[in-house]
Amino acid sequence: MAPEVGRAAGSTAPRSADVALVAGVSRKTVSRVLNGERYVSDEARRRVLAAAEELGYRLNHAARALASGRTRSLGVVALGTAGYGTASLLVHIEQAARESGYALRVIYTPDGDPEGIAGALASLLEQGVDGVVVSEPIVKGDVPVRVDVPVLFIGAPPAPAFTATRTLTVSVGALELARAATEHLLDLGHETVHQLAGPRQWYATKDRIEGWQAALAARGAHEPPLLNGDWSAASGYAAGRALASDRSVTAVFAAGDEMAIGLIHALREAGRRVPEDISVVGFDGNPVFAYVSPPLTTVRQPFDAAAREGIRLLVHAIEKPDAELPPTGQPPVELVVRGSTAPPPSHRGATALRTT
Amino acid sequence: MAPEVGRAAGSTAPRSADVALVAGVSRKTVSRVLNGERYVSDEARRRVLAAAEELGYRLNHAARALASGRTRSLGVVALGTAGYGTASLLVHIEQAARESGYALRVIYTPDGDPEGIAGALASLLEQGVDGVVVSEPIVKGDVPVRVDVPVLFIGAPPAPAFTATRTLTVSVGALELARAATEHLLDLGHETVHQLAGPRQWYATKDRIEGWQAALAARGAHEPPLLNGDWSAASGYAAGRALASDRSVTAVFAAGDEMAIGLIHALREAGRRVPEDISVVGFDGNPVFAYVSPPLTTVRQPFDAAAREGIRLLVHAIEKPDAELPPTGQPPVELVVRGSTAPPPSHRGATALRTT
DNA sequence: TTGAAAGCGCTAACAC
DNA sequence: GTGTTAGCGCTTTCAA
């Protein structure tokens, strides 16, 4: 079917030269068409496309990357647990990147510690990525890597000693979300709100603590000591067992939905009712927890908006290194009130008296 | 600190030639050291490594890929929802790939339909991957792409019309898991077991239906019509509302944990107790559902084992194209009995009479 | 055990 | 609008 076109008839995959031959144009014109550049006649474009189609031509990204110095790909350093947050963020990052014409290279780092992140970054950089996305890393410690591409941090400011050409940050509004969660509980009439926090060295934990503190301080509420978890339901359960015997606790803000689920389970096992005796609000917004008993009140992390916004920023920094960064909007603060929160027993008691 | 070494002292990143210069060897020797090839003296190796370290040398994968025709990377076609299964599988695939020296390029396909998979494959192939992993795609339809690298299907056999150099499959034992789940219910004394299935065009759905049918048939149990869901808790909830009024239903196998959660919620809202009136078993093994009420009985998908095994196969096919494939073990069948399953009311009734 | 030369397939710069 | 030339940084021959 295809005419004998030099090597194109051979055994190897067709190259741009073969397409050029079939289309009757130069390789550069093929390149122009494939890259959507201007200054190509409609006729030439049509012929190139037809030839590429006929030959089953597939562009070689490695060659393009070598010649152009750009890979049109982004590296992602993902935190290693298959939690809803990480997974959801990754899905949205991939989609946003793809829509901007970038492919994704992913490395998981179970702990998110500086060494792990440094290693992941080094590997990504070797592979040749035009930019890197790091989500919510650890608070302390240097990341001892020379990074010569823009780096986007999702959800937290970059570690202080991090050295990169250009560092970008996009917020998920964790502080505001934590404040909203705490305020919701305070509004319900609780005197104060305990927090079941994540590992202390995570940025994500820090923001949530600060938002909670801010809400407490604004109402003049006493700030109880933090409870510690590791994001897992099991750790929430452990914290709940410890907490159950303290009758003064009427409201808990858990820094993650799964911890909230574990916490509630322990509380109920110990005979404390949720939300009648203790209210619990989670953090993340995994829709499945609308279907447990009680349905979990939570705040939704705007992973979709953050990913879109972040990738927009990153792509901008890659493609227009010298331009100003575009302005970024405030992430939405979305409180999802379901069944795990209610007024404290004291209020309910009053209500009960009235209605009895 | 570093001596003036030609271009190395310039503004661009050091290349292998710079390392060679500093080490006092040829570029080829540098290449040999970096690729762990034999026939390099210890002394030469030491000098090359030292020079690379001193220069902060980073290998250029694009150049290597162009020259060698291999990228040392794997493409993953992931199904688009941020569910526990997909996310968990991806984490384990990445880990196994990294341990074998391969990087990962990921594309999500929300629906897993043939067009989506074809597009994802084409994109991955352009990027230049040495192999591809596709997890549980759709049953029907061609995937009209010329694929010239080995393709691994996790969890299901390849679509019939799929044309690839080499097609590999690794099972998660879904059929056996579905059978185990169904048998568990039958063993408890239920006369039959309903199934809340996933979308019919998914392979994953097919396996689970077949395992369920096999278990039913083996006991001579009647096979009730399938209920339909889309993996989401919301769809499980919808199915549960429809099911609640049918008093003859005493046991349901939900083909996904989240659907099971939604189902249970609807059942309870309608006044049916779980597990007293109806038993429900899920499918996946997300640990968080050990902490809901009732704790979900489920079967655990061996994502870790499947990913390890699958990547081993894929890497073998890539690196030793002509060799036999290594044998693969049977994936473990793990039933996790928790609180959402119990004997049917008839049995319990008998027990209740005795104890009253 | 090591090195020299040739090219992988593409794009950049500059001509026309 | 289009073509020509010269590499991108590495690995692959093949020779020493």
Query: pLDDT tens, A166-215?
Result: 889 999 999 999 999 999 999 999 999 999 999 998 888 999 999 999 99
Give the span between the Cα atoms of B44 and B63, in whole angstroms.
23
Instruction: Name the CA radius of gyration of chain A, rounded.
Output: 27
From start to end of B171-246, where are the E strands?
A: 194-197, 227-228
Query: pLDDT tens, B305-326?
Result: 999 999 999 999 999 988 888 8
Percent helix, strand, coil in chain B, to 5, is: 45, 15, 40
Closest nucleotide over all strands to B27 (CA to C1') = C3
Query: pLDDT tens, A44-70?
Result: 899 999 999 999 999 999 999 999 999
Q: How confident is the model at residue A148 (pLDDT cuts 50, 70, 90)?
A: confident
Q: How far is CA A239 from the centre of its chain?
A: 26
Beta strands A131-135; A151-154: pairing state: parallel
Nucleotides of C under 7 A from a protein CB: 1-5, 7-13
pTM of the model: 0.91
Residue A146: what pLDDT?
80
Give the span between the Cα atoms of A35 and A38, in whole angstroms.
9
Give the span between the Cα atoms of B237 and A354, in whole angstroms.
36
Query: Closest residue of A to B232, CA-based?
Result: A288
Cβ-defined contact of A290 to B125 (cutoff 8 Å): no
In angstroms, the CA of B117 and the C1' of D15 are apart by 48
A224 pLDDT higher than 50:
yes
Question: CB of B13 within 8 Å of any CB in chain A?
Answer: yes
Residue B283: what pLDDT?
98
Query: Closest residue of A to B64, CA-based?
Result: A62
Closest nucleotide over all strands to B29 (CA to C1') = C2
Which residues does chain B have with pLDDT short of 50? 1-10, 351-356
Residue B10: what pLDDT?
37
Residue A139: what pLDDT?
65
A351 pLDDT higher than 70:
no
Residue A8: what pLDDT?
32
| Residue at B12: amino acid letter | T
B contacts of A270 (beta carbons < 8 Å): none
Closest nucleotide over all strands to B26 (CA to C1') = C3
Q: How many residues does chain A have?
A: 356
Q: Which residue of B91, B94, B149, B291 to mutate against A (max A Cβ within 10 Å)?
A: B291
What is chain A's mean pLDDT, rounded?
A: 88
For B:305-324, CB contacts with A below 8 A are: none
**Residue A258 C-alpha, separation from nearest chain B C-alpha, in angstroms:** 6
Domains present along chain A, CATH in parentheses: 16-59 (1.10.260.40), 70-172+304-321 (3.40.50.2300), 174-301+335-348 (3.40.50.2300)
Beta strands A103-109; A73-79: pairing state: parallel
Query: Residue A169 forms beta bridges with which residues?
Result: A153
A contacts of B146 (beta carbons < 8 Å): 56
Contact B255, B283 (CB under 8 A): yes
Cβ-defined contact of A265 to B95 (cutoff 8 Å): no
**Residue A62 C-alpha, separation from nearest chain B C-alpha, in angstroms:** 5
Closest CA to A265 of B296, B181, B336: B296
Residue B139: what pLDDT?
65
Contact B231, B79 (CB under 8 A): no
In this structure, what are the phi and psi dihedrals at residue B108, rounded to the nearest 5 degrees?
A: -95, 140
Give the span between the Cα atoms of A19 and A27, in whole angstroms.
8
A354 pLDDT higher than 80:
no
Closest CA to A298 of A351, A255, A337: A337
Q: How many other C-beta atoms are found inside a 10 Å radius of the C-beta of residue A116? A: 20
Mean pLDDT value across residues A119-130: 92
Query: Closest residue of A to B261, CA-based?
Result: A291
Nucleotides of D under 7 A from a protein CB: 1-5, 7-13
For D6, nearest residue by CA–C1' is A67
Buried-state track B301-325, b at ≥16 Cβ within 10 A, e below 16: bbbbbbbbbbbbbbbbbbeeeeeee
Among A1-10, A206-215, A295-304, B304-313, the minimum mean pLDDT is found in A1-10
Cβ-defined contact of B107 to A98 (cutoff 8 Å): yes
In angstroms, the CA of B55 and the C1' of C2 are apart by 23
Cβ-defined contact of A81 to B91 (cutoff 8 Å): yes
Mean pLDDT value across residues A335-356: 74
For B:120-179, CB contacts with A below 8 A are: 122-123, 125-128, 146, 148
Cβ-defined contact of A60 to B126 (cutoff 8 Å): yes
Contact B282, B257 (CB under 8 A): yes
Contact B142, B166 (CB under 8 A): no
Closest nucleotide over all strands to A58 (CA to C1') = C9
| Residue at A132: amino acid letter | V
In angstroms, the CA of A110 and the C1' of C9 are apart by 38
Mean pLDDT value across residues A262-278: 97
